[in-house]
């Protein structure tokens, strides 16, 4: 069974851009591009995949969900991602765009697939790839700190969260056992959990006065096996019939929960045939060759000369690049 490593690129880039205070000899911030490439080679070294897919946000990726919720992802502030730009929002925006463009140039010379399908967010593309394109005979590992991916976990699909803790200094693997024992939610039901509590990061309001712990306690069926919205609401109605009035709030907010579910679920996304074909083309008939010379030139153009560039080259050379037919 081949292993495919999926990288949520913007999730990785934003984390590196915001946390790494690194400048080149010209005084320009380069922490975003350096950190992302270093993290990428680190993930490849750690997980030894056969194939690597670095997934970008598609152009207009939020439009479909904004037709459901106008305020979707509104209110996100750009300023303050990196304290190096404390006094200049414009400088930060310019650096963000400049480093992202440089990163694209570097990734283009690596043996990686780079899906970026119009109107689809990165998590939609990764979800469809895991559940449809690479459904059989592939082991899938998704690298991201975004908990929305939890709903995709199954016997062949895991998440690697590169968040360091005392227990896991290199990060944590989220697999089926972890979901049932620690999260106490059967993976596909995680979207239901988020639909009820909402998601502040995406400006999705949930049922007032409840959090994840409360919902898990109120609906133990979330851990028992896959359920749907009708099952959750039926459970609540039965509890109300038993004179348990705290469940009334769920019934009263059934419309909100149903709307939110359309926003957060990834397992049955309304993907057009055109988008499916575009995603498939990102993998089919695409043979990539690693050009280490161009990688070095791209980095040197920004006065970035990593001491361990030879190690990077060795790691990137280990990745296979071949056309895939679905």
Residue 289 has a CB neighbour count (10 Å cut-off) of 8
Per CATH, the number for 187-264 is: 1.10.150.20
pLDDT at 241: 94
Residue 186 CA to residue 72 CA, distance in Å, equals: 26
Per-residue 3-state assignment (H helix, E strand, C coil) for the chain: CEEEEEEEHHHHHHHHHHHCCCECCCCCECHHHHHHHHHHHHHHHHHCCCEEEEECCCCCCCHHHHCCCCCCCCCCCCCCCCHHHCCCHHHHHHHHHHHHHHHHHHHCCCCCECCCCCCCCHHHHHHHHHHHHCCCCEEEEEECCCHHHHHHCECCEEEEECCCCCCCCCCEEECHHHHHHHHCCCHHHHHHHHHHHEEHHHCEECCCCCCHHHHHHHCHHHHCCCCCHHHHHHHHHHHHHCCCHHHHHHHHCHHHHHHHHHHHCCCCCCCCHHHHHHHHHCCCCCCCCCCHHHHHHHHHCCCCCCCCHHHHHHHHHCCCCCCCCC
pLDDT at 164: 84
Alpha-carbon radius of gyration of the chain: 21
> Under CATH, what is the fold of the domain 2-180+268-317?
Rossmann fold (3.40.50)
pLDDT at 89: 76
Query: Same topology for domains 2-180+268-317 and 187-264, yes or no?
Result: no
pLDDT at 80: 56
Q: Are 75 and 8 in contact (CB under 8 A)?
A: no
Mean pLDDT, the chain cut into blocks of 10 residues (326 residues total) = 96 93 87 95 96 96 93 74 63 90 94 94 97 95 97 98 88 96 97 97 95 97 95 96 94 97 90 93 80 91 82 90 80
Q: What angle do CA 317, 321, 322 make, to 5 degrees?
A: 155
Residues 6+ apart with CB under 8 A from 131: 152, 267
| Backbone φ and ψ of 23, nearest 5° | -120, 155
pLDDT at 84: 59
* Domain assignments of the chain as residue spans, ordered by start: 2-180+268-317, 187-264
Q: What's the pTM?
A: 0.94
pLDDT at 322: 78
Q: Residue 194 burial by CB count (10 A; 0-12/13-18/19+): exposed, middle or buried?
A: buried
pLDDT at 303: 84
Determine if residue 16 is left, alpha or beta; phi over 0 gives left, psi from -120 to 50 gives alpha, anything else beta. alpha
Q: Are 74 and 201 in contact (CB under 8 A)?
A: no
């Amino acid at each position: 069974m081949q292993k495919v490593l999926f990288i949520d690129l913007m999730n990785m880039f934003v984390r590196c851009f915001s946390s790494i205070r690194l400048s080149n000899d010209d005084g320009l911030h380069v922490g975003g591009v350096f950190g992302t490439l270093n993290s990428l080679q680190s993930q490849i070294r750690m997980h030894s995949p056969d194939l690597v897919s670095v997934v970008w946000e598609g152009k207009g990726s939020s439009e479909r969900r904004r037709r459901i919720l106008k305020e979707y992802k509104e209110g996100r502030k750009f300023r303050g991602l990196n304290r190096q730009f404390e006094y200049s929002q414009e400088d930060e925006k310019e650096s963000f765009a400049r480093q992202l463009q440089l990163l694209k140039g570097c990734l283009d010379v690596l043996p990686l697939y780079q899906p970026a399908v119009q109107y689809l967010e990165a998590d939609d593309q990764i979800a469809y790839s895991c559940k449809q394109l690479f459904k059989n005979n592939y082991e899938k590992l998704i690298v991201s700190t975004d908990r929305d991916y939890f709903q995709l976990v199954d016997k062949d699909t895991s998440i690697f969260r590169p968040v360091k803790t005392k227990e896991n200094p290199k990060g944590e693997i989220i697999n089926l056992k972890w979901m049932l024992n620690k999260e106490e939610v059967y993976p596909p039901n995680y979207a239901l959990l988020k639909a009820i509590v909402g998601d502040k990061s995406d400006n999705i309001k949930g049922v007032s006065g409840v959090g994840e712990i409360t919902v898990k306690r109120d609906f133990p069926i979330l851990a028992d096996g896959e359920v749907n919205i009708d099952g959750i609401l039926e459970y609540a109605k039965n509890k109300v019939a038993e004179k348990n009035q705290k469940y009334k709030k769920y019934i009263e907010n059934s419309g909100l929960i149903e709307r939110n579910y359309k926003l957060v679920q990834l397992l049955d996304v309304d993907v057009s045939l055109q988008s499916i074909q575009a995603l498939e083309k990102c993998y089919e008939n695409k043979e990539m060759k690693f050009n280490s010379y161009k990688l070095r030139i791209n980095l040197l153009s920004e006065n970035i000369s990593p001491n361990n560039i030879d190690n990077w080259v060795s790691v990137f050379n280990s990745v296979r690049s071949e056309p895939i037919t679905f």
